[in-house]
A and B are shown apart, each in its own frame.
Chain A
Amino acid sequence: MSKAAIKAALLLLGAVCCAPLVYLLSGSLLSRYELRESLSSLMNNGEELISWHLIPKYPTFEHYARILFQTPQFFVVFWNSMKLVVCILAGQLLIAVPAAWAFAVYPFRLRKVLFTLYIVLMLMPFQVTMLSSYLVLDNLSLIDTHQAIILPAVFSTFPVFLVYRGFCNLPKGLIEAARIDGASEWMIFVKIGLPLSSGGILSAGVLGFLEYWNLIEQPLAFLETQSLWPLSLYLPEISLEQAGYSFVASVITLIPAVFVFLLGREYLEQGIVASAMKE
Protein backbone atom coordinates (compact mmCIF):
# COMPACT_ATOMS: atom_id res chain seq x y z
CA MET A 1 0.00 0.00 0.00
CA SER A 2 1.23 3.44 -0.73
CA LYS A 3 1.93 5.88 2.07
CA ALA A 4 -0.89 8.15 1.00
CA ALA A 5 -3.39 5.31 1.25
CA ILE A 6 -2.14 4.37 4.72
CA LYS A 7 -2.37 7.96 5.79
CA ALA A 8 -5.91 8.27 4.47
CA ALA A 9 -6.94 5.09 6.28
CA LEU A 10 -5.43 6.30 9.55
CA LEU A 11 -7.09 9.69 9.17
CA LEU A 12 -10.40 7.95 8.65
CA LEU A 13 -9.90 5.87 11.77
CA GLY A 14 -8.93 8.97 13.71
CA ALA A 15 -12.08 10.66 12.48
CA VAL A 16 -14.12 7.71 13.79
CA CYS A 17 -12.52 8.30 17.20
CA CYS A 18 -13.68 11.91 17.11
CA ALA A 19 -17.14 11.13 15.68
CA PRO A 20 -18.99 11.32 19.02
CA LEU A 21 -18.06 15.00 19.14
CA VAL A 22 -19.76 15.61 15.80
CA TYR A 23 -22.94 13.89 16.96
CA LEU A 24 -22.97 15.91 20.16
CA LEU A 25 -22.56 19.18 18.29
CA SER A 26 -25.24 18.38 15.76
CA GLY A 27 -27.59 17.17 18.49
CA SER A 28 -27.16 20.39 20.42
CA LEU A 29 -28.36 22.39 17.41
CA LEU A 30 -31.43 20.31 16.63
CA SER A 31 -34.80 21.78 17.48
CA ARG A 32 -37.08 20.16 20.02
CA TYR A 33 -39.36 18.82 17.30
CA GLU A 34 -36.62 17.40 15.18
CA LEU A 35 -35.11 15.68 18.23
CA ARG A 36 -38.44 14.19 19.21
CA GLU A 37 -38.94 12.95 15.69
CA SER A 38 -35.48 11.38 15.64
CA LEU A 39 -35.46 9.80 19.05
CA SER A 40 -39.13 8.97 19.59
CA SER A 41 -38.59 5.29 18.86
CA LEU A 42 -35.78 5.19 21.43
CA MET A 43 -37.98 6.89 24.03
CA ASN A 44 -41.06 4.70 23.50
CA ASN A 45 -38.98 1.58 22.92
CA GLY A 46 -40.52 1.34 19.47
CA GLU A 47 -39.59 -0.92 16.61
CA GLU A 48 -38.25 1.46 13.99
CA LEU A 49 -34.65 2.61 13.81
CA ILE A 50 -33.73 6.10 14.89
CA SER A 51 -32.74 8.49 12.15
CA TRP A 52 -30.31 11.33 12.46
CA HIS A 53 -29.52 14.47 10.51
CA LEU A 54 -25.89 15.36 11.05
CA ILE A 55 -26.70 18.73 9.62
CA PRO A 56 -29.91 19.95 11.24
CA LYS A 57 -32.72 20.97 8.94
CA TYR A 58 -33.58 23.93 11.12
CA PRO A 59 -30.59 24.65 13.34
CA THR A 60 -31.47 26.49 16.51
CA PHE A 61 -29.79 27.76 19.64
CA GLU A 62 -32.94 27.37 21.73
CA HIS A 63 -31.39 24.78 24.04
CA TYR A 64 -28.28 26.87 24.55
CA ALA A 65 -30.46 29.83 25.44
CA ARG A 66 -32.48 27.73 27.84
CA ILE A 67 -29.46 26.35 29.64
CA LEU A 68 -27.77 29.72 29.91
CA PHE A 69 -30.76 31.75 31.02
CA GLN A 70 -33.30 29.42 32.57
CA THR A 71 -31.46 26.62 34.33
CA PRO A 72 -29.65 27.87 37.42
CA GLN A 73 -29.00 24.32 38.64
CA PHE A 74 -26.75 23.73 35.67
CA PHE A 75 -24.50 26.56 36.84
CA VAL A 76 -24.37 25.14 40.35
CA VAL A 77 -23.20 21.82 39.00
CA PHE A 78 -20.79 23.41 36.55
CA TRP A 79 -19.13 25.42 39.31
CA ASN A 80 -19.00 22.35 41.54
CA SER A 81 -16.91 20.66 38.86
CA MET A 82 -14.71 23.71 38.44
CA LYS A 83 -14.21 24.09 42.17
CA LEU A 84 -13.23 20.44 42.57
CA VAL A 85 -10.75 20.49 39.70
CA VAL A 86 -9.16 23.82 40.60
CA CYS A 87 -8.83 22.96 44.29
CA ILE A 88 -7.36 19.55 43.54
CA LEU A 89 -4.82 20.88 41.05
CA ALA A 90 -3.84 23.79 43.33
CA GLY A 91 -3.43 21.40 46.23
CA GLN A 92 -1.30 19.07 44.15
CA LEU A 93 0.89 21.98 43.14
CA LEU A 94 1.51 22.79 46.81
CA ILE A 95 1.96 19.22 48.03
CA ALA A 96 3.11 17.00 45.18
CA VAL A 97 5.63 19.30 43.52
CA PRO A 98 7.82 19.78 46.62
CA ALA A 99 7.59 16.06 47.31
CA ALA A 100 8.80 15.33 43.79
CA TRP A 101 11.67 17.76 44.37
CA ALA A 102 12.66 15.91 47.53
CA PHE A 103 12.77 12.60 45.66
CA ALA A 104 14.65 14.00 42.68
CA VAL A 105 17.33 16.06 44.41
CA TYR A 106 18.14 14.63 47.83
CA PRO A 107 19.71 11.19 48.15
CA PHE A 108 18.30 10.49 51.64
CA ARG A 109 18.31 7.09 53.17
CA LEU A 110 14.63 6.11 52.92
CA ARG A 111 14.37 7.48 49.40
CA LYS A 112 14.16 4.17 47.58
CA VAL A 113 11.66 2.58 49.95
CA LEU A 114 9.38 5.61 50.01
CA PHE A 115 9.51 6.11 46.27
CA THR A 116 8.58 2.49 45.63
CA LEU A 117 5.70 2.94 48.04
CA TYR A 118 4.56 6.00 46.10
CA ILE A 119 4.65 4.09 42.82
CA VAL A 120 2.65 1.20 44.26
CA LEU A 121 0.04 3.64 45.59
CA MET A 122 -0.09 5.39 42.24
CA LEU A 123 -0.88 2.09 40.54
CA MET A 124 -3.71 1.06 42.88
CA PRO A 125 -7.17 1.56 41.41
CA PHE A 126 -9.80 3.46 43.36
CA GLN A 127 -11.70 0.32 44.32
CA VAL A 128 -8.83 -0.94 46.45
CA THR A 129 -8.51 2.28 48.44
CA MET A 130 -12.23 3.08 48.44
CA LEU A 131 -12.98 1.62 51.86
CA SER A 132 -9.89 3.10 53.48
CA SER A 133 -10.76 6.54 52.10
CA TYR A 134 -14.27 6.14 53.39
CA LEU A 135 -13.10 5.20 56.89
CA VAL A 136 -10.84 8.20 57.24
CA LEU A 137 -13.31 10.64 55.68
CA ASP A 138 -16.03 9.32 57.95
CA ASN A 139 -13.78 9.80 60.97
CA LEU A 140 -13.14 13.39 59.97
CA SER A 141 -16.88 13.74 59.23
CA LEU A 142 -16.15 14.95 55.73
CA ILE A 143 -18.52 12.58 53.92
CA ASP A 144 -20.93 14.48 51.68
CA THR A 145 -18.71 17.56 51.46
CA HIS A 146 -16.42 18.62 48.64
CA GLN A 147 -13.40 18.08 50.85
CA ALA A 148 -14.14 14.37 50.70
CA ILE A 149 -13.22 14.48 47.01
CA ILE A 150 -10.51 17.11 47.17
CA LEU A 151 -8.35 15.95 50.08
CA PRO A 152 -7.63 12.37 48.97
CA ALA A 153 -6.98 13.57 45.42
CA VAL A 154 -4.54 16.24 46.60
CA PHE A 155 -2.42 13.53 48.17
CA SER A 156 -2.52 11.32 45.09
CA THR A 157 0.99 10.13 44.28
CA PHE A 158 0.60 10.14 40.50
CA PRO A 159 1.58 13.83 40.02
CA VAL A 160 4.57 13.31 42.33
CA PHE A 161 5.84 10.69 39.92
CA LEU A 162 5.20 12.80 36.80
CA VAL A 163 6.84 15.93 38.16
CA TYR A 164 9.72 13.86 39.52
CA ARG A 165 10.58 12.83 35.96
CA GLY A 166 10.87 16.47 34.99
CA PHE A 167 13.09 17.34 37.97
CA CYS A 168 15.38 14.40 37.21
CA ASN A 169 16.23 15.95 33.86
CA LEU A 170 17.77 19.01 35.53
CA PRO A 171 21.55 19.00 35.30
CA LYS A 172 22.96 18.20 38.74
CA GLY A 173 25.77 20.69 38.23
CA LEU A 174 23.32 23.56 38.11
CA ILE A 175 22.03 22.81 41.60
CA GLU A 176 25.57 22.35 42.95
CA ALA A 177 26.62 25.66 41.42
CA ALA A 178 23.69 27.45 43.03
CA ARG A 179 24.61 25.94 46.40
CA ILE A 180 28.20 27.09 46.12
CA ASP A 181 26.99 30.57 45.31
CA GLY A 182 25.13 30.48 48.61
CA ALA A 183 21.53 29.96 47.52
CA SER A 184 19.35 28.39 50.17
CA GLU A 185 17.66 25.07 49.41
CA TRP A 186 14.29 26.82 49.16
CA MET A 187 15.70 29.41 46.75
CA ILE A 188 17.11 26.66 44.55
CA PHE A 189 13.69 25.00 44.43
CA VAL A 190 11.82 28.21 43.62
CA LYS A 191 14.33 29.89 41.29
CA ILE A 192 15.81 26.90 39.50
CA GLY A 193 13.64 23.83 39.99
CA LEU A 194 10.23 25.33 39.29
CA PRO A 195 11.01 27.47 36.21
CA LEU A 196 13.20 24.89 34.50
CA SER A 197 10.77 22.02 35.04
CA SER A 198 7.56 23.84 34.30
CA GLY A 199 6.98 21.39 31.43
CA GLY A 200 6.68 18.44 33.77
CA ILE A 201 4.41 20.38 36.09
CA LEU A 202 2.17 21.43 33.19
CA SER A 203 2.01 17.83 31.98
CA ALA A 204 0.79 16.75 35.39
CA GLY A 205 -1.69 19.62 35.28
CA VAL A 206 -3.13 18.70 31.88
CA LEU A 207 -3.43 15.00 32.68
CA GLY A 208 -4.86 15.92 36.08
CA PHE A 209 -7.44 18.27 34.62
CA LEU A 210 -8.74 15.69 32.16
CA GLU A 211 -8.84 13.06 34.90
CA TYR A 212 -10.61 15.15 37.54
CA TRP A 213 -13.03 16.75 35.10
CA ASN A 214 -14.17 13.19 34.45
CA LEU A 215 -14.34 12.14 38.11
CA ILE A 216 -17.06 9.58 38.72
CA GLU A 217 -16.16 6.91 41.25
CA GLN A 218 -15.28 9.27 44.10
CA PRO A 219 -18.31 11.60 43.98
CA LEU A 220 -20.55 8.60 43.41
CA ALA A 221 -19.30 7.06 46.64
CA PHE A 222 -18.78 10.10 48.83
CA LEU A 223 -21.37 12.70 47.76
CA GLU A 224 -25.06 12.17 48.41
CA THR A 225 -26.51 15.66 48.10
CA GLN A 226 -27.28 16.27 44.44
CA SER A 227 -26.49 19.98 44.66
CA LEU A 228 -22.87 19.04 45.42
CA TRP A 229 -22.49 16.78 42.40
CA PRO A 230 -20.05 17.53 39.60
CA LEU A 231 -21.12 17.57 35.95
CA SER A 232 -19.89 14.05 35.36
CA LEU A 233 -22.56 12.64 37.68
CA TYR A 234 -25.28 15.14 36.83
CA LEU A 235 -25.31 14.72 33.04
CA PRO A 236 -26.41 11.07 32.89
CA GLU A 237 -29.33 11.92 35.21
CA ILE A 238 -30.97 14.04 32.52
CA SER A 239 -33.73 11.96 30.96
CA LEU A 240 -34.03 11.20 27.28
CA GLU A 241 -37.17 13.34 27.06
CA GLN A 242 -34.91 16.33 27.61
CA ALA A 243 -32.43 15.22 24.98
CA GLY A 244 -31.85 18.76 23.74
CA TYR A 245 -30.89 19.94 27.19
CA SER A 246 -28.70 16.89 27.60
CA PHE A 247 -26.85 17.52 24.33
CA VAL A 248 -26.16 21.16 25.16
CA ALA A 249 -25.07 20.29 28.71
CA SER A 250 -22.68 17.72 27.27
CA VAL A 251 -21.24 20.22 24.81
CA ILE A 252 -20.70 22.78 27.56
CA THR A 253 -19.06 20.11 29.71
CA LEU A 254 -16.76 19.32 26.84
CA ILE A 255 -15.64 22.90 26.26
CA PRO A 256 -13.16 23.22 29.16
CA ALA A 257 -11.79 19.73 28.52
CA VAL A 258 -11.29 20.38 24.81
CA PHE A 259 -9.78 23.76 25.58
CA VAL A 260 -7.22 22.21 27.92
CA PHE A 261 -6.64 19.38 25.45
CA LEU A 262 -5.88 21.68 22.52
CA LEU A 263 -3.74 24.10 24.51
CA GLY A 264 -1.86 21.40 26.37
CA ARG A 265 -1.59 18.76 23.65
CA GLU A 266 2.17 18.83 23.73
CA TYR A 267 2.31 18.58 27.53
CA LEU A 268 -0.29 15.85 27.46
CA GLU A 269 1.94 13.72 25.25
CA GLN A 270 4.99 14.49 27.37
CA GLY A 271 3.02 13.55 30.45
CA ILE A 272 1.90 10.25 28.95
CA VAL A 273 5.45 9.37 27.99
CA ALA A 274 6.75 10.40 31.41
CA SER A 275 4.13 8.31 33.15
CA ALA A 276 5.46 5.24 31.40
CA MET A 277 9.07 5.58 32.45
CA LYS A 278 10.37 3.02 34.82
CA GLU A 279 12.29 4.12 37.86
Chain B
Amino acid sequence: MQQLRLLKKQQSIWRNKSGRNCAWVFFLLPSLFGVTVFVLLPFLDVVRRSFLTAVTQEWSDIRNYQIVFANQAFRLAIQNTLRFTAVCLPLLIGISLFLSIQLSRLREIQLIKSMFLFPLAMPAATVVLIWKMLFARQGFLNGWLTGMGWLEEGQMIDYMGTKAAFWVLVFSYLWKNMGYTIVLWLAGIFSVSTDITEAARVDGASERQCFWRVIFPNLKGTLYTITVLSFLNSFKVFREAYLVAGSYPHESMYLLQHLFNNWFVNLELDKMAAAAVCVGLVLFATILLLQRLWDSEER
Protein backbone atom coordinates (compact mmCIF):
# COMPACT_ATOMS: atom_id res chain seq x y z
CA MET B 1 0.00 0.00 0.00
CA GLN B 2 2.71 2.39 1.06
CA GLN B 3 4.72 1.47 -2.00
CA LEU B 4 1.78 1.92 -4.28
CA ARG B 5 1.20 5.43 -2.98
CA LEU B 6 4.83 6.27 -3.45
CA LEU B 7 4.73 4.93 -6.97
CA LYS B 8 1.70 7.04 -7.77
CA LYS B 9 3.39 10.12 -6.46
CA GLN B 10 6.44 9.36 -8.52
CA GLN B 11 4.27 8.98 -11.57
CA SER B 12 2.50 12.25 -11.03
CA ILE B 13 5.77 14.10 -10.60
CA TRP B 14 7.06 12.53 -13.78
CA ARG B 15 3.90 13.45 -15.64
CA ASN B 16 4.14 17.01 -14.44
CA LYS B 17 7.76 17.27 -15.46
CA SER B 18 6.94 16.38 -19.03
CA GLY B 19 3.79 18.52 -18.88
CA ARG B 20 5.81 21.42 -17.61
CA ASN B 21 8.15 21.33 -20.56
CA CYS B 22 5.50 22.40 -22.97
CA ALA B 23 3.00 24.05 -20.63
CA TRP B 24 4.48 27.47 -21.39
CA VAL B 25 3.38 27.07 -25.00
CA PHE B 26 -0.27 27.03 -24.01
CA PHE B 27 0.13 30.07 -21.79
CA LEU B 28 2.13 32.07 -24.27
CA LEU B 29 0.65 30.99 -27.58
CA PRO B 30 -2.45 33.23 -27.71
CA SER B 31 -0.39 36.32 -27.00
CA LEU B 32 2.44 35.34 -29.31
CA PHE B 33 -0.03 34.57 -32.09
CA GLY B 34 -1.68 37.98 -31.71
CA VAL B 35 1.60 39.84 -31.57
CA THR B 36 2.81 38.03 -34.68
CA VAL B 37 -0.36 38.67 -36.65
CA PHE B 38 -0.98 42.24 -35.54
CA VAL B 39 2.51 43.62 -35.16
CA LEU B 40 5.42 41.51 -36.39
CA LEU B 41 4.22 40.29 -39.79
CA PRO B 42 2.66 43.63 -40.77
CA PHE B 43 5.80 45.44 -39.70
CA LEU B 44 7.84 43.21 -42.01
CA ASP B 45 5.37 44.15 -44.71
CA VAL B 46 6.00 47.81 -43.89
CA VAL B 47 9.73 47.26 -44.27
CA ARG B 48 9.10 45.63 -47.65
CA ARG B 49 6.81 48.46 -48.72
CA SER B 50 9.35 51.06 -47.76
CA PHE B 51 11.35 49.86 -50.75
CA LEU B 52 8.41 49.85 -53.17
CA THR B 53 6.51 52.60 -54.95
CA ALA B 54 3.11 53.28 -53.43
CA VAL B 55 0.87 52.79 -56.43
CA THR B 56 2.55 50.34 -58.76
CA GLN B 57 4.37 48.34 -56.08
CA GLU B 58 7.58 48.32 -58.09
CA TRP B 59 10.99 48.03 -56.53
CA SER B 60 12.25 51.54 -55.97
CA ASP B 61 15.46 50.96 -54.04
CA ILE B 62 15.98 53.64 -51.40
CA ARG B 63 14.03 56.31 -53.26
CA ASN B 64 11.33 56.49 -50.58
CA TYR B 65 13.97 57.17 -47.99
CA GLN B 66 15.52 59.88 -50.14
CA ILE B 67 12.13 61.49 -50.64
CA VAL B 68 11.38 61.40 -46.93
CA PHE B 69 14.67 62.93 -45.94
CA ALA B 70 14.35 65.64 -48.55
CA ASN B 71 10.81 66.41 -47.39
CA GLN B 72 10.48 69.86 -45.79
CA ALA B 73 7.71 68.80 -43.42
CA PHE B 74 9.72 65.79 -42.28
CA ARG B 75 12.73 67.97 -41.50
CA LEU B 76 10.62 70.46 -39.60
CA ALA B 77 8.92 67.67 -37.66
CA ILE B 78 12.20 65.96 -36.79
CA GLN B 79 13.70 69.26 -35.73
CA ASN B 80 10.73 70.12 -33.51
CA THR B 81 10.54 66.67 -32.01
CA LEU B 82 14.23 66.71 -31.16
CA ARG B 83 13.97 70.23 -29.75
CA PHE B 84 10.93 69.24 -27.74
CA THR B 85 12.72 66.22 -26.29
CA ALA B 86 15.88 68.19 -25.59
CA VAL B 87 13.92 70.84 -23.69
CA CYS B 88 11.38 68.63 -21.94
CA LEU B 89 13.41 65.73 -20.67
CA PRO B 90 15.97 67.73 -18.65
CA LEU B 91 13.21 70.01 -17.35
CA LEU B 92 10.97 67.14 -16.31
CA ILE B 93 13.75 65.04 -14.82
CA GLY B 94 15.36 67.96 -13.02
CA ILE B 95 12.21 69.49 -11.57
CA SER B 96 10.76 66.15 -10.53
CA LEU B 97 14.02 65.14 -8.86
CA PHE B 98 14.08 68.41 -6.93
CA LEU B 99 10.46 68.00 -5.84
CA SER B 100 11.04 64.36 -4.89
CA ILE B 101 13.98 65.23 -2.70
CA GLN B 102 11.86 67.77 -0.88
CA LEU B 103 9.01 65.28 -0.62
CA SER B 104 11.25 62.49 0.65
CA ARG B 105 12.12 64.58 3.71
CA LEU B 106 8.52 65.14 4.69
CA ARG B 107 6.05 62.84 6.33
CA GLU B 108 2.54 62.02 5.15
CA ILE B 109 3.15 62.80 1.53
CA GLN B 110 0.41 60.59 0.15
CA LEU B 111 -1.93 63.52 -0.50
CA ILE B 112 0.69 65.61 -2.29
CA LYS B 113 1.78 62.65 -4.38
CA SER B 114 -1.81 62.01 -5.40
CA MET B 115 -2.30 65.64 -6.34
CA PHE B 116 0.70 65.49 -8.65
CA LEU B 117 -0.53 62.21 -10.10
CA PHE B 118 -4.01 63.50 -10.79
CA PRO B 119 -3.32 64.88 -14.28
CA LEU B 120 -2.64 61.31 -15.34
CA ALA B 121 -6.32 60.60 -14.77
CA MET B 122 -7.51 63.63 -16.77
CA PRO B 123 -8.22 62.64 -20.36
CA ALA B 124 -6.73 65.07 -22.86
CA ALA B 125 -10.19 65.77 -24.21
CA THR B 126 -11.36 67.25 -20.93
CA VAL B 127 -8.52 69.74 -20.64
CA VAL B 128 -8.88 71.10 -24.16
CA LEU B 129 -11.46 73.64 -23.05
CA ILE B 130 -9.35 74.72 -20.08
CA TRP B 131 -6.26 75.07 -22.25
CA LYS B 132 -8.21 77.26 -24.67
CA MET B 133 -9.36 79.49 -21.83
CA LEU B 134 -5.84 79.66 -20.41
CA PHE B 135 -3.80 80.28 -23.52
CA ALA B 136 -6.11 82.21 -25.82
CA ARG B 137 -5.31 85.83 -26.57
CA GLN B 138 -8.14 86.85 -24.25
CA GLY B 139 -7.29 84.05 -21.82
CA PHE B 140 -6.48 83.78 -18.14
CA LEU B 141 -2.72 83.73 -18.57
CA ASN B 142 -2.72 87.13 -20.27
CA GLY B 143 -5.18 88.30 -17.64
CA TRP B 144 -2.88 87.31 -14.79
CA LEU B 145 0.17 88.75 -16.49
CA THR B 146 -1.49 92.12 -17.08
CA GLY B 147 -2.88 91.97 -13.54
CA MET B 148 0.62 91.67 -12.18
CA GLY B 149 1.86 94.40 -14.47
CA TRP B 150 4.23 92.17 -16.43
CA LEU B 151 2.33 92.65 -19.61
CA GLU B 152 1.07 95.96 -20.87
CA GLU B 153 -2.59 96.40 -21.52
CA GLY B 154 -3.46 95.73 -25.16
CA GLN B 155 -0.32 93.68 -25.80
CA MET B 156 -1.95 90.34 -25.36
CA ILE B 157 -0.12 87.31 -26.69
CA ASP B 158 -1.88 84.61 -28.66
CA TYR B 159 -0.02 81.65 -27.20
CA MET B 160 -1.36 79.03 -29.57
CA GLY B 161 -0.68 81.00 -32.74
CA THR B 162 2.88 82.14 -32.13
CA LYS B 163 6.18 80.58 -31.21
CA ALA B 164 4.89 80.37 -27.67
CA ALA B 165 2.86 77.35 -28.82
CA PHE B 166 5.96 75.23 -28.32
CA TRP B 167 6.09 76.24 -24.66
CA VAL B 168 2.41 75.52 -24.19
CA LEU B 169 3.23 72.01 -25.34
CA VAL B 170 6.15 71.80 -22.93
CA PHE B 171 3.87 72.93 -20.14
CA SER B 172 1.26 70.30 -21.01
CA TYR B 173 3.89 67.61 -20.99
CA LEU B 174 5.31 68.66 -17.63
CA TRP B 175 1.85 68.95 -16.12
CA LYS B 176 0.88 65.48 -17.27
CA ASN B 177 4.06 63.58 -16.43
CA MET B 178 5.33 65.23 -13.25
CA GLY B 179 3.45 62.89 -10.91
CA TYR B 180 4.53 59.77 -12.77
CA THR B 181 8.17 60.78 -12.57
CA ILE B 182 7.95 61.82 -8.92
CA VAL B 183 6.56 58.42 -7.99
CA LEU B 184 9.50 56.77 -9.74
CA TRP B 185 12.09 59.00 -8.09
CA LEU B 186 10.55 58.49 -4.66
CA ALA B 187 10.58 54.73 -5.12
CA GLY B 188 14.25 55.01 -5.99
CA ILE B 189 15.10 57.31 -3.09
CA PHE B 190 13.26 55.18 -0.54
CA SER B 191 14.91 52.02 -1.82
CA VAL B 192 18.31 53.34 -0.70
CA SER B 193 18.79 51.74 2.68
CA THR B 194 18.40 54.15 5.57
CA ASP B 195 21.34 52.44 7.29
CA ILE B 196 23.72 53.93 4.75
CA THR B 197 22.29 57.44 4.98
CA GLU B 198 22.20 57.24 8.77
CA ALA B 199 25.83 56.18 8.81
CA ALA B 200 26.77 59.06 6.53
CA ARG B 201 24.93 61.53 8.79
CA VAL B 202 26.65 60.17 11.87
CA ASP B 203 29.95 60.65 10.08
CA GLY B 204 29.05 64.30 9.74
CA ALA B 205 27.81 64.54 6.15
CA SER B 206 25.54 67.50 5.47
CA GLU B 207 22.12 67.01 3.89
CA ARG B 208 23.53 68.06 0.55
CA GLN B 209 26.57 65.79 0.74
CA CYS B 210 24.36 63.00 1.94
CA PHE B 211 22.21 63.32 -1.14
CA TRP B 212 24.83 63.79 -3.85
CA ARG B 213 27.44 61.41 -2.43
CA VAL B 214 25.27 58.68 -0.94
CA ILE B 215 21.77 58.61 -2.38
CA PHE B 216 22.27 59.91 -5.92
CA PRO B 217 24.87 57.31 -6.99
CA ASN B 218 22.27 54.69 -6.15
CA LEU B 219 19.67 56.33 -8.35
CA LYS B 220 21.39 55.76 -11.70
CA GLY B 221 19.11 52.83 -12.52
CA THR B 222 16.09 54.99 -11.75
CA LEU B 223 17.50 57.74 -13.95
CA TYR B 224 17.81 55.32 -16.86
CA THR B 225 14.26 54.06 -16.63
CA ILE B 226 12.86 57.53 -16.06
CA THR B 227 14.68 58.77 -19.14
CA VAL B 228 13.34 55.95 -21.31
CA LEU B 229 9.78 56.19 -20.03
CA SER B 230 9.64 59.99 -20.17
CA PHE B 231 11.03 59.92 -23.69
CA LEU B 232 8.37 57.48 -24.82
CA ASN B 233 5.63 59.34 -22.99
CA SER B 234 6.72 62.48 -24.81
CA PHE B 235 5.14 60.98 -27.93
CA LYS B 236 1.77 61.09 -26.22
CA VAL B 237 1.84 64.87 -25.98
CA PHE B 238 0.39 64.68 -29.47
CA ARG B 239 -2.99 64.14 -27.87
CA GLU B 240 -3.14 67.56 -26.26
CA ALA B 241 -1.43 69.17 -29.23
CA TYR B 242 -3.85 67.68 -31.72
CA LEU B 243 -6.97 68.33 -29.73
CA VAL B 244 -6.10 71.95 -28.97
CA ALA B 245 -4.59 72.95 -32.31
CA GLY B 246 -5.70 70.38 -34.92
CA SER B 247 -3.77 68.72 -37.75
CA TYR B 248 -1.81 71.80 -38.75
CA PRO B 249 -0.81 73.72 -35.62
CA HIS B 250 1.68 76.58 -35.45
CA GLU B 251 4.88 75.37 -37.07
CA SER B 252 6.83 75.55 -33.82
CA MET B 253 4.81 72.60 -32.50
CA TYR B 254 4.46 70.55 -35.67
CA LEU B 255 5.73 67.18 -34.43
CA LEU B 256 6.51 63.86 -36.06
CA GLN B 257 3.18 62.63 -34.77
CA HIS B 258 1.34 65.31 -36.73
CA LEU B 259 3.29 64.39 -39.83
CA PHE B 260 2.50 60.67 -39.54
CA ASN B 261 -1.13 61.48 -39.00
CA ASN B 262 -1.29 63.78 -42.01
CA TRP B 263 0.51 61.31 -44.25
CA PHE B 264 -1.94 58.69 -43.11
CA VAL B 265 -4.93 60.89 -43.89
CA ASN B 266 -3.51 61.60 -47.37
CA LEU B 267 -2.68 57.91 -47.85
CA GLU B 268 0.99 58.59 -48.55
CA LEU B 269 1.81 55.11 -47.42
CA ASP B 270 5.22 54.81 -49.08
CA LYS B 271 6.57 57.80 -47.20
CA MET B 272 4.99 56.53 -44.02
CA ALA B 273 6.62 53.14 -44.43
CA ALA B 274 10.08 54.60 -44.89
CA ALA B 275 9.63 57.04 -42.00
CA ALA B 276 8.22 54.35 -39.69
CA VAL B 277 11.24 52.14 -40.36
CA CYS B 278 13.62 55.05 -39.69
CA VAL B 279 11.92 56.20 -36.51
CA GLY B 280 11.61 52.63 -35.24
CA LEU B 281 15.31 52.01 -35.85
CA VAL B 282 16.36 55.26 -34.20
CA LEU B 283 14.25 54.54 -31.12
CA PHE B 284 15.56 51.00 -30.92
CA ALA B 285 19.15 52.24 -31.15
CA THR B 286 18.55 54.96 -28.55
CA ILE B 287 17.12 52.51 -26.05
CA LEU B 288 19.99 50.08 -26.59
CA LEU B 289 22.52 52.88 -26.26
CA LEU B 290 21.03 54.15 -23.00
CA GLN B 291 21.00 50.63 -21.65
CA ARG B 292 24.63 50.09 -22.69
CA LEU B 293 25.62 53.32 -20.99
CA TRP B 294 23.91 52.31 -17.83
CA ASP B 295 25.36 48.78 -17.83
CA SER B 296 28.91 50.03 -18.30
CA GLU B 297 28.30 52.50 -15.49
CA GLU B 298 27.31 49.67 -13.21
CA ARG B 299 30.34 47.57 -13.84
Chain B contacts for A101, CB-based, 8 A:
27
Q: Are B106 and A132 in contact (CB under 8 A)?
A: no
Identify 22 residue pairs between A and B in the complex whose beta-carbon atoms are under 8 Å apart, listed by A's number. A10-B103, A11-B115, A17-B119, A42-B138, A50-B138, A96-B31, A123-B283, A130-B260, A131-B276, A136-B38, A182-B12, A185-B20, A186-B23, A214-B123, A231-B123, A235-B128, A253-B126, A257-B122, A257-B123, A261-B121, A272-B180, A273-B187
Partner of A131, one of B35, B232, B272: B272
CB distance from B284 to the nearest CB of A (A): 6
How big is the B interface, by class? 35 or more
Known: A123-B283, A155-B38. A277 touches B125 (CB 8 A): no
CB distance from B94 to the nearest CB of A (A): 15
Interface status of A221 (Cβ within 8 A of chain B)? yes
Interface status of B118 (Cβ within 8 A of chain A)? yes
Chain B contacts for A45, CB-based, 8 A:
137-138
Chain A contacts for B178, CB-based, 8 A:
17
CB distance from A56 to the nearest CB of B (A): 15
Q: Are B140 and A160 in contact (CB under 8 A)?
A: no
Interface status of B39 (Cβ within 8 A of chain A)? yes
Interface status of B202 (Cβ within 8 A of chain A)? no
- Which 10 residue pairs of A and B lie closest in terms of their CB atoms, listed nearest first? A14-B115, A155-B34, A99-B31, A132-B42, A106-B24, A102-B27, A261-B121, A125-B235, A102-B28, A235-B125
Interface status of B143 (Cβ within 8 A of chain A)? yes
Chain A contacts for B34, CB-based, 8 A:
95, 151, 154-155
Chain A 192-241 interface residues, beta-carbon cutoff 8 Å to B: 210, 213-214, 216-217, 220-221, 231-236, 240
Smallest Cβ-Cβ distance to B174: which chain A residue: A17
Question: How many angstroms between the C-alpha atoms of A74 and B138 in the bound complex?
Answer: 30
Q: Are A98 and B27 in contact (CB under 8 A)?
A: yes
19 further interface pairs, Cβ-Cβ under 8 Å (given A131-B42, A210-B121): A6-B102, A6-B106, A17-B119, A23-B130, A24-B130, A121-B35, A123-B283, A124-B280, A128-B279, A130-B260, A155-B31, A213-B123, A217-B257, A243-B129, A260-B121, A272-B180, A273-B187, A275-B229, A277-B225
CB distance from B125 to the nearest CB of A (A): 4
Interface status of B169 (Cβ within 8 A of chain A)? no
Q: Are B39 and A11 in contact (CB under 8 A)?
A: no
Q: Are A124 and B9 in contact (CB under 8 A)?
A: no
Question: How many angstroms between the C-alpha atoms of A79 and B271 in the bound complex?
Answer: 36
Known: A131-B273, A182-B16. A49 touches B122 (CB 8 A): no
Q: Which residues of B line the A interface, CB within 8 A? A: 9, 12-13, 16, 19-20, 23-28, 30-32, 34-35, 37-39, 41-43, 45-46, 99, 102-103, 105-106, 111-130, 132-133, 136-140, 142-143, 146, 154, 156, 175, 178-180, 183-184, 187, 221-222, 224-226, 228-229, 232, 235-236, 238-239, 242-243, 256-257, 260-261, 264, 269, 272-273, 276, 279-280, 283-284, 287, 291
Question: How many angstroms between the C-alpha atoms of A95 and B264 in the bound complex?
Answer: 29
Smallest Cβ-Cβ distance to B247: which chain A residue: A220
Q: Are B114 and A133 in contact (CB under 8 A)?
A: no
CB distance from B25 to the nearest CB of A (A): 8
Chain B contacts for A232, CB-based, 8 A:
123-125
CB distance from B177 to the nearest CB of A (A): 11
Which of B39, B221, B226 counts the most A-chain CB atoms under 10 A from its CB?
A: B39
